[in-house]
Every structure is written in structure tokens, then in C-alpha cells.
Structure 1
Amino acid sequence: MARVKTQYKCQSCGYISASYLGRCPNCGAWNQFEKQTSEVKKVSNKATPSRMISAIGNNEPVAMAKVEAKVESRISTNMEELDRVLGGGIVPGSLVLIGGDPGIGKSTLMLQVTGELAQKYKVLYISGEESAGQIKLRAERLGLDQSGMLLYPETNMEKIRDTIDEIKPDFVVIDSIQTMNEPSLDAMTGSASQVREVTSELMKIAKIDTITVFVIGHVTKEGAIAGPKILEHMVDTVLYFEGDEHHAYRILHSVKNRFGAANEVGMFEMENAGLKEVDNPSAIFLNERLPNSTGSAIVVSLEGTRPILAEIQALVTPTAFGYAKRTTSGIDYNRAALLLAVLEKQGNLMLQNQDAYLTSIGGMRLNEPAIDLAIVMAIASSYKSMEIPSTDAFVGEVGLTGEVRRVNKIEARIKEAAQVGFKRIYIPRHNMSDQLPNYGIEVIPVASIAQAMKLVFG
């Protein structure tokens, strides 16, 4: 018999040890070593060298000037929000990873999308978590029970490869990647090695046979897709399906896209009949706003290339303990603490003995620096118990010295605020220019938070 070589590899950094270690001496990660043997190396019967070369292209060095760049064709999903996130539609032969919390609606989204695609294309839905009968029940609820989609409950990758070779579908859905098993790999189903090996095999299937593969992946408690981080680098597109279980709205967020812009956002609403597209998310986030409330400010946030108006609320109350408490939801905690310190130093507000609670309404997670000015104004409004006019919006990054700094794509932000019906928008002074188009909204430039507070509160 051939000699079997055994080694242990860290799934975080790739460090190799001859024996099992609880803590990696290279990266310091705990419980990341996994047993590997020489039997792991397996040549897939799916791809021969000639097929691989024809799929990838010329395997010899070639001058870039002689390379012919082809524009990738797109297939519409009949869902404008999903097409926007994908960069204009589905690219044939791409591998798309969709991650999200359990129960957020990943399977529902894919069933709706592939149900529509099955009217024109051959779709194979591979499920490792549900039986064909369970999928049929969900399809009946979505009105897709008469779809020509092929259902295949299976977890064995060898059988899946043979089925794909036999059927030759245009689209394949893997639900989910954690349930798939490569029999030749000596590792537990759902482990880092299994997830990586299965994803590598799916990439070969997608690229060699030009089959679009959608892979569903669960998200861990830390907010990352289960499995090694290298999984995100192996696929063409990474989408996160996010949302609050207490809200009906879902956000499809693009983290990586080789065929389009990243950080694009699509909005959906979960209903009994499935996911419904939200054409005007700005109106959704603002429709329940009280007209004469304090501690509320509107910001024009940019998600990818899409401007969205969101409401930021702040509640400032005297602390009942020895130190002030800060709580945030949908806003970065460290950024909020920094802005509170800037307000106390540069805005002359005594906040060190005040509890501060900050939130973005509607479950929207706001991360860009352009929301700083709206956060500052919401805090000042609550502290002073003075309302901000409901027709005012704010855009601007705040520095440590209290200055309001320039932001990008100011024209798109101003246009969105005007279309929703706002009368005034406060922007950084350095974004103000004579070339700004007139959208029918008053544009007020500010240089510092002190100037902004004086203009709003007098």
C-alpha cells in the first residue's frame, strides 16, 4: 500500500504542523488545525487540461495590446433590485455566493429568481437541507409550483457532478454549501476543508461548462460566511442578505463583484407571497417620521451608486450612574463616541454626564462618513430639546476639530433629497460650487458644526 502522509493545517493562515496544536503559533488562532492526508489531493474527473485551457484561454504570455476584451453578456432576473446589485444582470458562467442569517429569506429569494428563469432556461435546484416536498410547499406559497425547475435533494458532490454532466443545466443552485460533502475528502461535512473543496469544484463546473452557479451560505455569529475567509476570494460575486427579524424589509448588499460595482444595495419587503421589490426606499424609511419631534435628523446616505434618505434618531438624557452610557443600533459605536467627544469640545455641549442612544430607523446599517453631520445634529437636537425642521436634510463628514469635510457624489445626494420633497439640505462648504445644478432645493454650505448648529437652532 502507498504511504499515507498526515499533517495538520491551520484554516486561518495555512500554517502546517506535523501534530495537532490547539493554538496556531503563526497567527494565534484557536482550534483551527484540521487533519489532512495525501488522499486529499484528487484530480477531478470533471476537467481535463485541454478543456481547462479552452475555458480559460491562451496559456502562454501575451501582450495586453493584443488581448481582445469581450463585453460580458447579461441575463435579466426580472427583478430590478437584484439586477442592480449584480451589476446589470447575471453573467453566464459566474459563481455567486449569497450569505445571510438563517431564516432571513435566502432560499425564498433564490426560489423566486430561479422560478422565473426556469420559464426560459434549464434550472437545477440542489438542496441539502430540504426535501423536494418541502421545496414544493414553498413554491406553492410563492405561486411557482408549476415551474419547470428541476429539484434534486442531494449532498454527495460525486453524484451532483454526474447529474450536472447528464442534465447540462443553465443555472444551478446549491442550498446550502455547508451541507455539501466531497466523499474523497477525509473531513467532516461543513468543515472548512469541505466547504473550500466543494466551492473549488463548483468553480470548475461554472467556468468550464459556462453554468451559472448560485451558492447559499449561512452566516456565523461573528457575521462572516461560515467556512474559511478564502471562500469569498474563490467566487465571482459575494452578496449578503441582511435585515432585522422584527422588520419586514430586507437589504441585499454586494460586498464583491468581478462584473460590476461593489457595495450596491437592493431593497425587498418580505410578504406572505414572498419577497417584493421596494422601488423607493427613501419613502419607506421616512413615512412614519413624526413632524415635530426632537432628536431626529435626515441624512442622504450613498449605498454603492444609490442615494438613500435615512432617518437618524438620538436620545440624550442625564445619566443615573457614575458614567455616561452610549448605545448604538445601525451606527458604528466608535464613530458615535468620537462625534460625542467632538460635540462636547467643539460644540460646547456638556455630554459627559448624559446617556446617549443612537439608531438608524428601519434596520438600515449606515457606515459611510457622510452621515456624521446628521448624527451631530440629531444629538444636538435632543440635548437642546429643539426640533429640526422636517424638510431639512444633512450631508457631511465631521473632523476632530469640528470642521465639516467634503463628501463624494454630492449632486446625486442633492437630487435625491429634492425628489423626495425636502426644502433645504446642508452640505460641506467645499462641496459648494457654481456648477451644481438647480434641483429646486435650497443648498446651504457649512464649514463647521458650530455654524450648522447656529443656522438650525439659532
Structure 2
Amino acid sequence: MAKTNVRYLCSECGWTGPKWYGRCPECGQWGTVDEFHEARPTAAARRGGAGASSRASGPGRTARTQAAAVAESAATPITQVGTDDVARIPTGFSEFDRVLGGGIVPGSVVLIAGEPGIGKSTLLLETAGNIARAHAAQGGTVLYVSGEESQGQVRLRATRIDAVEPNLLLAATTDLATVLGLIERERPTLAIVDSAQTIVSQDVDGISGGSTQVREVASALIDVAKTLDVPVLLVGHVTKDGSIAGPRTLEHLVDVVCQFEGDGETALRMLRAVKNRFGPTDEVGCFDMSGEGIEEVTDPSGLFLSSADGSDGDGAAVEGTCVTFTLDGHRSLPIEVQSLVTNSVLPTPRRAANGVDANRIAMLVAVLYRHGHVNLLGNDLYISTIAGGLAKEPACDLAIVAALAGAAKHAPIPRTTCAIGEISLTGQVRPVPRLEYRLREAARLGFATAVVPRLRRRVEIPGLAVVQVDTLKSALGVLL
């Protein structure tokens, strides 16, 4: 066992110090400072000799385990550095490639985090099958290392999602030295480690999944990825509040951090880039989870809308519904807001919201009463979205108010009309960012009329009538 230097590490901000504190002196969080055993390389490892540990003895071993190695290449002026584009590796999912910025960069380390059972392992195993299938002719291999399942269990899942390929190599181990040795020996096109919290290094103290072990495992995988130019997809667990488990420095070490999100009651899954050194961080990938695996949804526009004609089955329009457009990354998604207004028999009227911010509903009801002359203060209100969509952006205010007013006055809003705008406490309809982008998406989906805030410049969208309003009262006059 290597000698260790006891220090204390904050799992929230990454602060380190020689003394324990109940409250982190850097970020001010309570209970986040834990003991951290920082490993020191042995003398043999510093000399790069044969007496180093097993993971420092293989060919192509990283500079991290050969700390005394002298840099072979001098610093180069930035003007002399080539600008040739790196050939990215397609994942087989256009949505995954979109989030990564065009594909997997060789030598990069991508951290995929998400709640248990959300589909992280399924997504990566299917990605491994796609890459193995695409590189079979060139003799490339894909290495999938599982620290949570046996080889037989991974094979069962691969059979179910049609990811069985002869050049897809499976390994079930929790030893870091074994993982690094497999990557060095096979030199795969892609390596997947599932997960960082299950792999254990014998060179440092600490339990599996602890801050010490997670940091050591991530650092070693990053070293081998950069040295051998092998991309690594690393699965990370999350805590109860949804943040990535382990020290916060883990997110700083890797090149890309992706969050795999979704509602357990629906099949929709969203992949978001929280950090990306090789592309934008405002891209979102949409996937559909099924029994046969994960399928990408290249056009999610119809996921959050009900029937195409908006009728109740008898041909009559449905009251209490309104469509708006919200931004998720670079995408503009239509969200249908539905509301139900009933007479209350309770001392305190009930407010139930699903997919909408409940605090904002209380504010909008008060604004609707004061400036729209629609009294809903004594009614039970039920507001919801379709298929787990989120209408929490301020640009959805006008659609929420229109749905509530339409339900109260029994006045249905035409299905081909959408409403976009933020409502202030003074009853004004305020502008929203990237409005023209939303309007073009509305025109593409067949909407004929859009009620929007007053624009500073004239916007003409073919096939879409843009109605500009200043106040909530005038907006309700147009919509209802």
C-alpha cells in the first residue's frame, strides 16, 4: 500500500485543506468536508522502474504514474499549432452526436450521469454495439467494462437491444489495475466503464464510491485516455438531489459531462450537455425508452401535444387548452397547457399543477383577476401539460393565463393558434428571447396565428399571422 497524506476535501466545491471543518470555508456548505487520503507515488514509480505498481509497468503507461519523467516535447507557439479537425467517432445516434458536438473525440473522457434505472447503461451498451458494428471491417473493437453486472447479465441485455457484435468485448471487474491493463492491451476504438463508483484502486485508501476512490479512478482513466488516444465513456451515479456523486472536482477533470434525465412514468428521456470542451452546452437530445432499448426522437414536436385537431371526439373544440413554444437548448418545442376550473367547496381553494411552477400560477391568477377581470380566486384550479412536458419558462405565462381564462369562460381557443409571452405584475405582455425562432417552428408545424408581445422590428413568417399585443386584456380579447 502506498503512503498517504491525510487531507480534507469538500465534495461540493473541491476545497482541500489540512483540517476538518463542519462548514466548508470556501462555499459555506455544511457537512460536505470529508477525509481524503492523497496517494503519494512510491520511489520506484518516481524513477519509472520495474518496482512500480502493476498498473505502472505496462507499455504506454501515463505520466501520472511516472511522475519524474521529463517532458520530451518543448512548448510550441500557438501560431504554429495545426488547426486540422479531429476525426470524431459517430455514436450511431444523431441525437447523441448532437449533444457531443458531432461525435466522440478520440482521447476524450465523457461522464454520463443520471438517476438509477433511467437508462444510462442501456444507452451506452447500444452505443457500443453501433460503434462495434461500424468499425468491424477495420478490425476495431469496443471494450465494455461493467463493475455492477456479470458478463452473462450484460449479454442478456445486449441480446434484448440487438447490440451483440463479435468485436464488442465484455469484462466484469471492479479492479482499476485490471481495467487499465485491458485498455492498454486491447487499444479499443472506444472504452466504456460502468461505473466510476464501483471501480476500486488498490493504491489508495477509501471505500468503493468514496471521494478518494472516485477521484483516483477518474484521474487514472483520464491519463490512459489521453496517452493512448482512446475515448472513454464513464458512467456516474447521482445523489438524492440529482447532483453527480463524488467530489465536485470529478466534473472539472473530465472533458464532457452529460445528464441523462427523464420521468420514470413516461418513456421520454433527455440527454443534456452540462459541460463540453468540444462543443456547445445548450444542445438537447431526445430519446424514447422501450422494451427493445432506446430509440432516438429526431423530431420531438408532437410529443407534448394531444390530438391533432384538438376536438373532444364530437368535432367540438376543447376549452381550457392553449399551445405555447418553449426553448430547450437550441430546440423550440410546442407545449400544450391544459386547465380545469371548478367551483370550490373547500375553505381554501385547491391549486394543483403538473409541469407548471405552482408559485407562478398563484401570481398569474392574481394578475388575471386584477388586469384581465377574470376572477378565479375562489375556484379550484388544475393545470397540467402533456406527456411530461415542462412549461416553467416565463414565455409560457400567456398560454397558461389563456387556458385558465378559456376554461372559466367556456371559450375554446382555436387549435391553430398559439400564445407566447411573459406577463408582468402590471398586466403587460413582455418580450421573450429568440421569439422569431419559436415562430418559425410554429409555422413549420402548421399553426396559423401566433399571439406575441410587441416586437421592436417587423417579423414576417410565411403562413403565420403574427398578432402583437401590449397588455393581458388585449391578448385575451384576441385569443378568446
Q: TM-score range by the shorter chain?
A: 0.7 to 0.9
Q: Distance in 2 between matches of 1:454 and 1:71?
A: 55
1:430 partner amino acid: L
1:114 alignment counterpart: 128
Matched, 1:232 2:251: yes
1:118 Cα shift? 0.7
Q: CA deviation at 1:351?
A: 3.7
C-alpha contact 1:256 1:263 (8 A) present in aligned 2: no
Amino acid paired to 2:421: G
Does the Cα contact within 8 Å between 2:273 and 2:284 map onto a contact in 1?
A: yes
Distance 1:23 1:380, change over 3 A: same
Equivalent of 1:308 in 326, 333, 343: 333
Displacement of 1:415 after TM fit?
Answer: 2.1
Q: Which amino acid aligns with 1:164?
A: I
| Distance apart, 1:207 and its partner CA | 2.2
Q: Which piece of structure 1 moves more, 1-10 or 225-234?
A: 1-10
Q: 1:265 to 1:4 in 2, by over 3 A?
A: closer
Number of the residue aligned with 1:8: 8
> Which range moved further: 420-429 or 359-368?
359-368
- Where 2:159 maps in the other structure, the secondary structure is helix
- Contact persistence 1:406–1:431 (CA under 8 A): no
The one of 62, 87, 105 aligned to 1:47: 62
Which 10-residue stretch deviates more, 315-324 or 442-451? 315-324
Q: What's 1:95 paired with? A: 109
| SS of alignment partner, residue 156 of structure 2 | helix
- The change in CA–CA distance for 1:75 and 1:2 in structure 2 (over 3 A counts) is closer
Partners of 2:16 and 2:367 in 1: CA distance: 48
* Partner SS state of residue 197, structure 2: helix
8 A contact 1:256–1:262 mirrored in 2 = yes
**How far has the Cα of 1:190 moved from its partner?**
0.9
CA drift at 1:203: 1.9
Which residue identity is paired with 2:434? K
Larger radius of gyration: 2
Q: Which moved more, 1:254-263 or 1:124-133?
A: 254-263
The unaligned stretches of length 5 or more in structure 1 are none
SS in 2 for 1:286: coil
* Residue 448 (str. 1) matches residue 471 (str. 2): yes
Letter in 1 for 2:130: E
SS in structure 2 at match of 1:348: coil
Cα distance in 1 between the residues matched to 2:3 and 2:446: 74
Contact 1:405 1:430 in 2 (8 A): no
2-structure distance, mates of 1:156, 1:333: 47
TM-fit CA distance, 1:380: 2.3
Aligned to 2:178: 159
- Structure 2 residue aligned with 1:264, among 274, 283, 305? 283
Q: Choose from 273, 284, 289 the match for 2:303.
A: 284
Task: From the superposition, tell whether residues 453 and 160 of structure 1 become closer, same or farther in structure 2 (CA, over 3 Å).
Answer: same
- 2:49 maps to none
> How many corresponding residue pairs?
453
Q: Is the 8 A contact 2:37 2:212 kept in 1?
A: no
Q: Unaligned stretches of 5+ in structure 2?
A: 46-54, 312-316
Whole-angstrom CA distance in 2 between matches of 1:376 and 1:282 = 22
Residues 394-405 of structure 1 mapped to structure 2, 5 A cutoff: 394-405=419-430
Moved more, 304-313 or 27-36: 27-36
Q: 2:158 is paired with a residue of what secondary structure?
A: helix
- Aligned equivalent of 1:222: 241
Are 1:426 and 2:451 an aligned pair?
yes
Deviations 1:27-59 (A, max 9, x none): 55444332234546687833228999x9x9976
Offset at residue 153 of structure 1 (A): 0.7
1:397 and 1:65 map into 2 onto residues whose CA distance is 47
Decide which of 436, 447, 458 is 1:411's aligned counterpart. Answer: 436
Q: How does 1:72-83 map to 2 (within 5 A)?
A: 72-83=86-97
Report what 2:314 is aligned to: none
The correspondence for 1:344, drawn from 365, 369, 381, is 369
Identify if the C-alpha distance between structure 1 residues 328 and 203 changes in structure 2 by more than 3 Å, giving closer, same or farther: farther
Distance of 2:319 and 2:74 partners within structure 1: 65
Q: Of residues 147, 163, 187 in structure 2, which corresponds to 1:128?
A: 147
Cα gap change, 1:331 to 1:182, in 2 (>3 Å): farther
User: Can you list the C-alpha shifts for 1:160-214, whole angstroms capped at 9, x where unaligned?
Assistant: 1122111111211111121111222211111223222222222222222221111
Q: Deviations over 1:217-242 (max 9, x none)?
A: 22322121222333222222222222
Identical positions, percent? 40
Distance 1:440 1:51 in 2: 66
Tell me if structure 1 keeps the 8 A contact 2:304–2:385.
no
Contact conserved, 2:184 with 2:228, CA < 8 A, in 1? no
CA RMSD of aligned residues (A): 3.2
Question: Which segment is superposed worse, 90-99 or 132-141?
Answer: 90-99
Q: How does 1:297-376 map to 2 (within 5 A)?
A: 297-376=322-401
> Separation in 1 of the partners of 2:165 and 2:5?
52
Tell me whether 1:139 sits opposite 2:158 in the alignment.
yes
Aligned ranges 1:178-217 → 2 under 5 Å = 178-217=197-236
Asked if the contact 2:113–2:260 (Cα under 8 Å) also holds between the matched residues in 1, the reply is: yes
Matched with 1:246 is 265
- What amino acid does structure 2 have at the position aligned with 1:122? T
Query: For the structure 1 residues 260 and 2, does the alpha-carbon distance in structure 2 shift closer, same or farther, using more than 3 Å as the test?
Result: closer
**SS of aligned partner of 1:90:** coil
Rounded Cα–Cα distance in structure 2 between residues aligned with 1:123 and 1:2: 32
Q: What SS does the aligned partner of 1:342 have?
A: helix
Distance 1:255 1:18, change over 3 A: closer
Residues 132, 165 of structure 2: 8 Å contact kept: no
Once residues 176 and 37 of structure 1 are traced to their aligned partners in structure 2, the CA distance between those partners, rounded to angstroms, is 21
Counterparts of 1:158 and 1:393 in 2: how far apart (Å)? 58
Partner of 2:48: none
CA contact (8 A) 1:297 1:375 kept: yes
Q: CA separation in 1, counterparts of 2:14 and 2:271?
A: 32
C-alpha contact (below 8 Å) 2:449/2:467 kept by paired residues: yes
CA gap of 1:8–1:425, structure 2 versus 1, over 3 A, is: same
Q: Per-residue deviation at 1:452? A: 0.9
State whether residues 100 and 219 of structure 1, in contact with CA within 8 Å, keep that contact through their aligned partners in structure 2.
yes
* Separation of aligned partners in 1, 2:182 and 2:99: 30
